[in-house]
Structure 1
């Protein structure tokens, strides 16, 4: 759902699959303390789960 939302808004993103990239998974837990997905980093702020309102709030900053 997050990818579809980003695409519908015309926002570019980089997808990182933490199931396939152990180093990315380690960094994610180190930065957020969470392993749940999706996690989206926007302008230095992490969003856990699918939260389009919060995502757009951070995009506008």
Structure 2
């Protein structure tokens, strides 16, 4: 079972693309909206050094932006 968390904001089109991609592949994920939980943004900034969203954590590996190939690679 893959452990997938997508960090998003309300206005991010790439966040929607990541979620649609995961839905299309029937991959379950947890969504964390960093606008509702700003402390989570601080946590992922410390982990990845990146401020932008989406950031997707797949089994402990981080994928920044909309990058389906990297998301799938992290699942192997």
Taking structure 2 as the reference length, the TM-score comes to: 0.75
Which sections of structure 1, spanning at least 5 residues, go unmatched? none
1:35, CA displacement in angstroms? 1.1
CA RMSD of aligned residues (A): 0.7
1:43, CA displacement in angstroms? 1.0
Alignment length (residue pairs): 60
Select the structure with the greater relative contact order (CA < 8 A; seq sep ≥ 6): 2
1:22, CA displacement in angstroms? 1.5
**Structure showing the higher strand proportion among its residues:** 2
**Deviating runs (4+, > 4 A) in structure 1?**
none
